Chain A
Amino acid sequence: GQQLNQSPQSMFIQEGEDVSMNCTSSSIFNTWLWYKQDPGEGPVLLIALYKAGELTSNGRLTAQFGITRKDSFLNISASIPSDVGIYFCAGQRAGAGSYQLTFGKGTKLSVIP
């Protein structure tokens, strides 16, 4: 099935550094979602973006919905050890089939104390 192109695949950063990851798609989505998955757990929703060009923050997290509706990025500022995990982007279409999320392959984040 279709997947989103998510990069980078993995990142090793020092505690306190900022992080940026992004997703691109060949097709348009009406909603972009960013999830975090801890080991042995299911993904948890971090940020949802509903309008092209929208910039949304949630604490140290900032995400933007690309103006073309084909891309999104997630920034994490001043990383801390508990930011470790796998971050997934997901796209959602409107109307029929809106229940189906299309996921990227994830960005594995490691934070070095």
Chain B
Amino acid sequence: GAGVSQSPSNKVTEKGKDVELRCDPISGHTALYWYRQSLGQGLEFLIYFQGNSAPDKSGLPSDRFSAERTGGSVSTLTIQRTQQEDSAVYLCASSLDGAGEQFFGPGTRLTVL
């Protein structure tokens, strides 16, 4: 499978705990994106990586959210001290470059109890 993969597919956590979500982009894609999809909503942009750097973090909703990308490949989205309003599907996408078609992974469904 050469598509974008994400893990875990589902994550249930307790309020106040930290979580890490992982994204493996398509090999050779330099651009990587994280989106959040709340119930009944469209996709909300969180962060964009070009290579290992993140020129745009403007969509991160609070300082509890952070992301990194290493080796120009795998990315991790970390949410610290999770809150119930963080419950959503977190989608990762990658593209050949910053303007190309974005291919999405299946998402991680996060539930904060």
A residues neighboring B (CB under 8 Å): 1, 3-4, 6, 40-45, 48, 88, 90, 97-106
Contacts and interface: CB of A to CB of B under 8 A. Distances in A.
Given A41-B106, A42-B4, A48-B101, A99 B42 contact: no
Nearest to A9: B40
Nearest to B42: A103
A42 B107 contact: yes
Given A40-B106, A42-B93, A42-B106, A101 B43 contact: yes
Nearest to B31: A99
5 contacts: A3-B42, A43-B43, A44-B104, A99-B50, A99-B95
Interface residues of B, number: 26
Contacts, number: 57
Interface string B69-113: 000000000000000000000010101001101111111000000
Contacts of B4: 42
Interface of B: 4, 9, 31, 33, 40-45, 48, 50, 56, 59, 91, 93, 95, 98-99, 101-107
A6 B42 CA distance: 10
Contacts of A103: 42-44
Contacts of A42: 4, 91, 93, 104-107
Contacts of B48: 99-100
A100 B42 contact: no
A106 B42 contact: yes
A100 B43 contact: no
Given A41-B106, A42-B91, A100 B101 contact: no
Nearest to A35: B104
Contacts of B93: 42
Contact of A1 (B40, B44, B56, B103): B44
Contacts of B59: 1
B106 A99 contact: no
